[in-house]
A = this chain, B = another copy of it.
């Protein structure tokens, strides 16, 4: 018997976190909470996740169409040790106030929420210990997690003077059809885009500035980074660091992995559930130096890369272990990720 975990918001992230939690030997799914009818509920049922409705209206709706629903979210919270809130922003912040605080629940929020929703903005390999025993922790967004993983590794190895990144973001997720763009590039008119400051909620000591734009693709984000390092580092030095960094994978154009589409294809071939790629993929052929600047390109699978962080955040907050490596190894082994230990 492990920690009882409730998943509030059973969509793109929620369903993945649920499956990841269910794979751990020290956790179990107490229930999943949904608002609307969808095929995802039949899958939840098949996986024997108890289903709860987010409110009375959903409860009536679910019952009306014959969904096997256990009750409302409030009932679930009574049987739960911790909540992973995977609702779209800003519902997480509202839930904190209306549900989690009244019920004295520990809760994990996703990166769409503001940093102020929680005590810690979390990326396991950067600041696991800060989340130890905490009540409210935010797993940062896919983009922020992606940058944090590689920048932190570089910072530890060589020191970072400054980092610059252009984020080329997907328009919407693969299962969605309502959002565009269909044929345009849409710049973000924030300077820096919120991603740079967001990295600093995790790793305050790195000076990072980002710009961002959105393009007509659904499958991955791409980051073009340029980093000025404190110490000299050859391309090989950098590749060696990434090769040993958890949750970062080197991929090779030479091996026919030429695009985000090829990464997704490879991940499907690996047999990963849903074809997910939870590791940040850095192209070997995209790493290079020019004077004191390091350039690299990385691809981020927005649907899944934060999943392992949610699992680790549970262990930290419930004080299951205070050793980040122990938690991350357990998580990564269960999910079939790269062996780095």
Contact = CB atoms under 8 A, between A and B. Distances in A.
Contact of A180 (B171, B251, B283): B171
Contacts of A187: 222, 224, 258-259, 283, 286, 297
A97 to B, nearest CB: 29
A277 to B, nearest CB: 12
A78 interface: no
Contacts of A218: 182-183, 261
A184 interface: yes
A58 interface: no
Interface in A204-261: 209, 211, 213, 215-220, 222, 224, 226, 251-261
A222 B213 contact: yes
Interface string A157-169: 0000000101010
A64 interface: no
A293 interface: yes
Contacts of A180: 171-172, 176-180, 182
Contact of A275 (B15, B166, B185, B275): B275
B186 A211 contact: no
A181 B271 CA distance: 24
B261 A268 contact: no
Interface residues of A, number: 74
A255 B189 CA distance: 13
Interface string A281-297: 00101111010010101
Interface stretch (A37-45, A106-114, A126-134, A144-152): A37-45
A259 to B, nearest CB: 4
Contacts of A181: 177-178, 182, 217, 259, 261
A220 B185 contact: yes
Interface string A29-48: 00000001111101100000
Contacts of A179: 178-180, 182
A216 B216 contact: yes
> Nearest 8 CB-CB pairs, A to B?
A175-B265, A184-B261, A191-B288, A38-B256, A177-B181, A166-B166, A189-B285, A268-B274
